[in-house]
Homo-oligomer: A and B are copies of this chain.
Amino acid sequence: MANHRSTTPPRRGSPPDRRSHPRTEDAGWRTAVTRIAPNEILIRGYAVDELMGRLSFAEAVYLILRGELPTPTMGKLFGAVLVSSIDHGVTPPSTLATRHVATTGARLSAAVAAGVLGFGSFHGGDIETCMRFLEEGLARVRNGESFADAADALLQSCLDGGRTPPGFGHRIHTQDPRASRLLQMAHELELDGEHVQMVRAIDRRLAARPNARPIPLNIDGAIAAVCADMGFEPELGNAVFMIARIPGLVAHANEERSRQHPMRQIDPEAGRRRSPPRRLPETRK
- Asked whether A6 lies within 8 Å of B120 as measured between CB atoms, the reply is no
The residue that A117 contacts in the complex, of B49, B114, B235, B236, with Cβ under 8 A, is B114
Number of interface residues of A (CB under 8 A): 159
- The 0/1 profile, CB within 8 Å of B marked 1, for residues 109-138 of chain A is 111111011111111011000000000000
Closest Cβ of chain B: how far from A205's Cβ, in Å? 16
A160 at the interface (CB under 8 A from B): no
- Asked whether A89 lies within 8 Å of B262 as measured between CB atoms, the reply is no
Q: How far is it, in angstroms, between the C-alpha of A172 and the C-alpha of B37 when the chains are bound?
A: 7
Q: Which residues of B contact A51 (CB under 8 A)?
A: 83, 280
> How many identical subunits does the complex contain?
4
Q: How far is it, in angstroms, between the C-alpha of A36 and the C-alpha of B83 when the chains are bound?
A: 16
Closest Cβ of chain B: how far from A200's Cβ, in Å? 18
- Asked whether B30 lies within 8 Å of A171 as measured between CB atoms, the reply is no
Q: How far is it, in angstroms, between the C-alpha of A257 and the C-alpha of B6 when the chains are bound?
A: 13
Q: Which residues of B contact A19 (CB under 8 A)?
A: 126, 164, 168-171, 218
**Contact of A248 with B39 at beta-carbon distance under 8 Å, contacts A80-B52, A86-B64, A169-B19 already known:** no
Instruction: Give the residues from 23 to 71 in chain A that come closer than 8 angstroms, CB to CB, to chain B.
Output: 23-26, 28-58, 60-61, 64-65, 69
The residue that A120 contacts in the complex, of B108, B178, B235, with Cβ under 8 A, is B108
